[in-house]
Amino acid sequence: MNIHTNPKKLRGFERYVKVDNVSRRSILKGLGLAGGFVLAAPVMSRPALAAYQTGADKMPHGTVVDPRVFVAIAPDGIVTIVAHRAEMGTGVRTSLPMIVAEEMEADWSRVRVQQAHGDEVKFGNQDTDGSRSTRHYLMPMRQIGASARTMLEAAAAKRWGVPATEVKAVNHEVVHGASGRRIGFGDLAADAAKESVPSVEGLRLKDPKDFRYLGKGQISMVDLRDITVGTARYGADVRLPGLKYAVIARPPVTGGKVVSFDGAEAMKVSGVEKVMEVKGWPWPSKFQPLGGVAVIARNTGAAIKGRDALKIVWDDGANGKYDSVAYRAELEEAARKPGLVVRKEGDVEAALKGADKVIVGEYYLPHLAHVAMEPPVAVADVRGDKAEIWAPVQSAGGTREDVAKTLGIPQENVTVNVTLLGGGFGRKSKCDFAIEAALLSKELGAPVKVQWTREDDVRNGFLHTVSVERIEAGLDKSGKVTAWRHRSVAPSIASTFAANTVHQAPFELGMGLVDMPFEIANVQCENPEAAAHARIGWFRSVSNIPRAFAVQSMVAELAHATKRDPKDMLLELIGSPRIVKLDSVKDLWNYGEPYDSYPIDTARLRKVVELVADKGGWGRSVAKGHGLGIAAHRSFVSYIATIVEVAVDDKGKLTVPRVDTAIDCGTYVNPERIQSQIEGAAIMGLSLAKHGAITFKDGKVQQGNFDDFPLLRIDESPAVTNVYIVPPGPDTPPSGVGEPGVPPFAPALINAIFAATGKRIRALPIGKQLEA
C-alpha cells in the first residue's frame, strides 16, 4: 500500500510538479498589452502586504503582480483590465477586474475587460478550479490596482510640480486638493507609463470603508447583455473561414480502442467529407484523447448523421466487465473491513467496544456526470509548427502546454483563446477536446471544430467518483459520542494519471474525511482500496459531496438515536470554539492553503449553523408531511450551513418549499454572485440527490442524455432559496464560493425527508425510494 504524498503530482502532468524557475527578469521581457498606453517600468519586488497568506504562489506559475500586464489606459480614458481566469458562470471575469478598478479608482463604466489567452508565465496561474480565483487573487488584484493608481498619481504630481502626497486619484481622475486641479486618467496615461512601478511593500491600499464596488453587489456581469441578446461567444460559437465540423465516435469502454471501422455508409451522408481515425492514448490516459473515429463534414448535423452510419469494431480492453451493481457490492465489502489508516486519535477500536450504543451508517453515492449545458467543444487551426485554439477551457495554460506537447511544438507556438464557458463544473479543466481538435486540424490542414454530443459528454467524460462511506459512531450512556470511525472507499482521481492506483490522494482525503472537525476523543479515518474502471475526474465540490452526505446524515442519525434536536447534536459534535489540530494526518490537504491563515476554525462553523438556524427559522412548526433538515460543512476553506424544508405527499412526491443557506467565505468581492452561486448549488444539490446516477454495465455507461440522466427542472426547484453571507472580520482571508454550496445540500435534504417521513435514505439518488 502506497499512499501518494504529493498532491500536485496527482494533477497528472509535469506542469504541476515543475518548479517555476523563470527569473523575474525574463518574465518581464517582451511585455506589452494590446491597445493603448501601457504602464511600463522596472521590476518590482513581491512580498505580500496582506495580513494573511494564500497558496497562490505555490500554484504552477504563481501570481504576477504587475499593472503593465493587467492594465492599459487609452488616451480617451478607457481602462482595459485583463481577466486571466475563465468565466464559467461564477462571475470571475467581472469580479477580478472589478478589484483592480476599485483600487485604481477607475470608473467602472469606463472599464473594458479583455480576456487573457493562455500564458501562465505572463499572467500567473490560470487554472480556474478549486474555488480559488477570489481567494488567490483578491490581494494581487488590489496590489495591481494600487500600483496603477500610484503611477497615475505620481505622473499628475510631476506635471503640476507638487508632492505626490498632495494628489489623489478619485473616480477616473487625479485631483490636487489644494488647487482644485484635476486631470483624467486618459490624459495621464502616457506619463504614467514612464513612472516606475512602486514596490508592493510601499503601496497604499484603499481603506475598505471607501470601497465603491467591492462587497457591494451592485455591478452586473460584464457579459450580461451579450448573454441576453445571443452574442456572448462560447466555444461552440467560434466560426472561422473554411471551418470543418467534426464529431468523434469514442471507445464505449474506458481504455478501449478501435480494431477496425467501415466508413462507407457515413461517406454517403449528404455533407460528410471524410472519415478518419483519431489517435488515442493508453489507459490511464490523463487528459489525452480517448481516440476513435472522426467524421468530418460541412456542418455538425451532417457529421452526427454520418457518425450514426459508422460501423466500428472495438476492443473493450481491461474495463469491459465494469458493472455498477457488482462494484457497489465490492465497495461495501471493502468498507466493512479495515483499510489504510489516514487519521488516528485515541483508540477507536476500544472505544467502540466499550460504547453503550454503536450507530452504523453506510452511505452510497454513485458516479455523476458534469453535463454542463455546453458540451465539450473546441476549434483548432494548426498550420505547420503553429497552433491556434479557441475553446471553453478552465485551464488555458494547461491546455497550451498539453496541446504543445501533443503536437511536439514549442508552447510559444500555441495560442489558446479562451471563450466563455457554457458551464464547467470541473469537466473543462481537462483539455482532451482541445487536443482532439488540434490533432484533426493538423491532419486535415484546415481549421476544425470538434463538437461533443450530449451522449459523448455523458458516456466519455471524466466522472465524479462512486463511493461507499461507512461511519460507526459509539455513544456513552449519557448520549455523548466517544468514538468515530469513518471508512471511505472510492476510486481516486489519481487513477486517471497513474495505473494501479487504489488509494485516494491527500487532496481527496482532505475533502471531508480526515478534516472532520468534530470534538470526539477517539477518531479513526480509513481508506480501503478501490480500483478504477472509468475515467475519474474533478466534479464541482469533489469528494466533499459523499463525505458531507455521510457525516451530516450520521449527525441526524445520532440525534434521532439519542432523541435530541439535530441542530443541537450538530453543535455538540462541532464542540467548543477552537482551531482543530490534525497532527495524526500525514500530508493534510487544506485546499492548498497554509493552515495558519486558513485553519479549521470551529467557531466559524458554529456561527454559520447558528446563523442559518436563526434566519432559517430552525424549529419552526411546519405543516403535516413537511420536515426540516440541517447540515453544515467546511470545504474550499469556507464554512456553510443549510436548512432544507421538504414536503412529501402520500404518494411519495417530494417538493422543496424553502432553502436557507448561510456562508462564511471570509472577505468577499461580489455578494450578488455569491448569492447566485448558492442558489445554483441548491439546484445542483437537489438534482444529484433526486436524480443523479451514472451506472455501468459491460463496461459501458448506461445513460446518454437528459432522459436517462435527468437534471432538476424548474418545476421541481425550491420555491425559494435564501442566502445569508457572514460579514467578514477586518483581516479574514477570502475563501471559496463556487463549490462549498453543494456538499451540505443533499444531507440537509435527506435529514428533512427523515423529519417529514421517518424514512432514512442512505443511498443516492432518491429516485423512487420515497414511493415505496
Partner 1 sequence: MIKVKINSQEHSWDGDPDLPLLWFLRDEAGLTGTKYGCGQALCGACTVIVDKQAVRACITSVSDVVGREVTTIEGLHPTGDHPVQKAWRQLNVPQCGFCQVGQIMQAAALLIENPKPNHDQIREAMAGNICRCGCYQRIENAVHLASTGV
Residue nearer to partner 1 on the CB measure, 631 or 684 = 684
Closest to 105 (Cα-Cα) out of 41, 148, 137: 148
* 711 interacts with partner 1 by CB under 8 A: yes
Residue nearer to partner 1 on the CB measure, 300 or 667 = 300
Q: Segment contacting partner 1 (CB under 8 A): 126-134, 220-228, 349-357, 475-483? A: 220-228
CA distance 629 to 642: 8
Cα angle 206, 211, 217 (rounded to 5 degrees) comes to 145
* 677 interacts with partner 1 by CB under 8 A: yes
Q: Segment contacting partner 1 (CB under 8 A): 85-93, 103-111, 472-480, 604-612? A: 85-93
* 749 interacts with partner 1 by CB under 8 A: no
Using the structure block, give the residue that is written with the C-alpha cell 501533443: 406
Residue nearer to partner 1 on the CB measure, 245 or 283 = 245
Residue nearer to partner 1 on the CB measure, 702 or 717 = 717
Residue nearer to partner 1 on the CB measure, 236 or 725 = 236
Contact 517/585 with Cβ under 8 angstroms?
no
Residue nearer to partner 1 on the CB measure, 47 or 230 = 230
* 419 interacts with partner 1 by CB under 8 A: no
Element (H, E) at 167: strand 167-170
* 706 interacts with partner 1 by CB under 8 A: yes
- For 478, residues 6+ apart whose C-beta sits below 8 A from its C-beta are none
Return the residue of 270, 308, 383, 412 that touches partner 1, per CB under 8 A: 270
Residue nearer to partner 1 on the CB measure, 258 or 683 = 683
Please name the amino acid found at residue 705. Answer: N
* 655 interacts with partner 1 by CB under 8 A: no
Return the residue of 83, 530, 611, 682 that touches partner 1, per CB under 8 A: 682
Q: Across the chain, how many H-helices and E-strands are there?
A: 20, 27
Return the residue of 44, 106, 654, 681 that touches partner 1, per CB under 8 A: 681
SS (H, E, C) 514-539: CCCCCCCCEEEEEECCCCCCCCECCC
Q: How far apart are the first and last CA of the chain?
A: 43
Residue nearer to partner 1 on the CB measure, 375 or 517 = 375
* 329 interacts with partner 1 by CB under 8 A: no
Q: Segment contacting partner 1 (CB under 8 A): 295-303, 482-490, 621-629, 660-668? A: 295-303
Closest distance between partner 1 and the C-beta of residue 714, in Å? 4
* 680 interacts with partner 1 by CB under 8 A: yes
> Helix 396-407 vs helix 432-444: angle between axes, to the nearest 10 degrees?
40
Closest distance between partner 1 and the C-beta of residue 423, in Å? 5
CA distance 354 to 368: 39
Phi, then psi, of 218 in degrees rounded to 5:
-95, -5
Closest to 612 (Cα-Cα) out of 683, 576, 664, 671: 664
* 299 interacts with partner 1 by CB under 8 A: yes
SS3 378: strand
Contact 329/516 with Cβ under 8 angstroms?
no
Closest distance between partner 1 and the C-beta of residue 178, in Å? 42
* 210 interacts with partner 1 by CB under 8 A: no
Closest distance between partner 1 and the C-beta of residue 466, in Å? 21
Residue nearer to partner 1 on the CB measure, 44 or 682 = 682
* 90 interacts with partner 1 by CB under 8 A: yes
Residue nearer to partner 1 on the CB measure, 315 or 649 = 649
CA 752, distance to chain mean position in Å, is: 27
**Which sign does the torsion angle of CA 368, 688, 133, 390 carry?**
positive
Return the residue of 441, 543, 635, 721 that touches partner 1, per CB under 8 A: 721
Closest to 748 (Cα-Cα) out of 613, 617, 627, 629: 629
Question: 654-664 and 721-725: which strand pairing?
Answer: parallel
Residue nearer to partner 1 on the CB measure, 214 or 348 = 214
* 287 interacts with partner 1 by CB under 8 A: no
Residue nearer to partner 1 on the CB measure, 210 or 707 = 707
CA distance 524 to 344: 4
SS3 723: strand
Return the residue of 300, 496, 541, 635 that touches partner 1, per CB under 8 A: 300
Contact 129/462 with Cβ under 8 angstroms?
no
Interface with partner 1 (CB under 8 A), residue total 68
Count CB atoms within 10 A of the CB of residue 335. Answer: 24
The residues pairing with 437 across neighbouring beta strands, listed in sequence order, are: none
CA distance 683 to 716: 9
Q: Segment contacting partner 1 (CB under 8 A): 88-96, 260-268, 274-282, 494-502? A: 88-96
Contact 501/492 with Cβ under 8 angstroms?
yes
Site for partner 1 in 439-478 (CB under 8 A): 451, 453-454
Return the residue of 75, 215, 301, 594 that touches partner 1, per CB under 8 A: 301
Residue nearer to partner 1 on the CB measure, 451 or 751 = 451
Return the residue of 169, 295, 516, 684 that touches partner 1, per CB under 8 A: 684
Return the residue of 159, 212, 265, 271 that touches partner 1, per CB under 8 A: 271
Closest distance between partner 1 and the C-beta of residue 684, in Å? 6
CA distance 528 to 533: 16
Residue nearer to partner 1 on the CB measure, 402 or 645 = 645
Q: Segment contacting partner 1 (CB under 8 A): 195-203, 399-407, 625-633, 699-707? A: 699-707
Q: What is the DSSP letter of 362?
A: E
- For 132, residues 6+ apart whose C-beta sits below 8 A from its C-beta are 56, 59, 592, 636, 736
Please name the amino acid found at residue 726. Answer: V
Residue nearer to partner 1 on the CB measure, 426 or 517 = 426
Q: Segment contacting partner 1 (CB under 8 A): 61-69, 567-575, 708-716, 755-763? A: 708-716
> Helix 566-574 vs helix 602-615: angle between axes, to the nearest 10 degrees?
160
State the residues that interact with partner 1 by CB under 8 A: 87-91, 220-221, 223-225, 227-234, 236-237, 239, 245, 269-271, 298-302, 304-305, 371-375, 420-425, 451, 453-454, 672, 676-677, 679-684, 687, 705-707, 711-715, 717-718, 720-721
